[in-house]
Chains A and B, each alone.
Chain A
Amino acid sequence: AQSVAQPEDQVNVAEGNPLTVKCTYSVSGNPYLFWYVQYPNRGLQFLLKYITGDNLVKGSYGFEAEFNKSQTSFHLKKPSALVSDSALYFCAVRDRERDDKIIFGKGTRLHILP
């Protein structure tokens, strides 16, 4: 069965510093991987996804993520954090060879400190 782990409930980063939000996954086949962001009282917004090809994926708002097959990880990164990046971030996985549901991690709350 598919699963996603986000080991940190919360990450605190000073504004201007680089940030990383961690994600590891488990699927029986090859994965499609996604990052979504949720602002307070809002739905989830798509940030980026890995399908195939280059392991470094660039997305919205200056975010990027690196797919590492050997470590089964898909960490979200940004070189310089903004206070406005403070939100709840979800990693998600879809198994290419199985059914179509997308499974989400529990989310990581990102606090950017001014």
Chain B
Amino acid sequence: DSGVTQTPKHLITATGQRVTLRCSPRSGDLSVYWYQQSLDQGLQFLIQYYNGEERAKGNILERFSAQQFPDLHSELNLSSLELGDSALYFCASSPVPGGWTGNTIYFGEGSWLTVV
């Protein structure tokens, strides 16, 4: 168990709908990362937050947004869902950002999203 908690584990929704994925980082970790894993695209970095502030942005669609709250949990909001958004969404956390520490990031078990 990595200590990163993600809910829900599985979610089925229809096209055009909106969903929210939730992540609780490991105790003491200030940084939260979101990744999308699909069969054809591999593991894609979406976005990173550090202590409530956006730190780095990857291949995140405009229909997607995220935030990190004062208690450090994070939510990923996916709207106007399309069939192609079906994927496994991972949250990860680490104590501090920064290449100067090379800190490991620890992954949750993921949220399976199926859009039908």
Contacts and interface: CB of A to CB of B under 8 A. Distances in A.
Contacts of B108: 43
Nearest to A100: B97
A96 B42 contact: no
A38 B2 CA distance: 13
Contacts of A103: 45
B109 A100 contact: no
Interface string B2-23: 1010000000000000000000
Interface residues of A, number: 26
A22 interface: no
Interface residues of B, number: 27
Contacts of B104: 34, 46, 49
A55 to B, nearest CB: 15
A101 B56 CA distance: 6
B102 A104 contact: no
A75 to B, nearest CB: 19
26 contacts: A32-B99, A34-B104, A36-B107, A43-B90, A43-B109, A44-B43, A44-B90, A44-B92, A45-B107, A49-B102, A94-B99, A95-B99, A96-B99, A97-B99, A99-B48, A99-B97, A100-B48, A101-B48, A101-B56, A101-B58, A102-B105, A103-B45, A104-B43, A104-B45, A106-B42, A107-B42
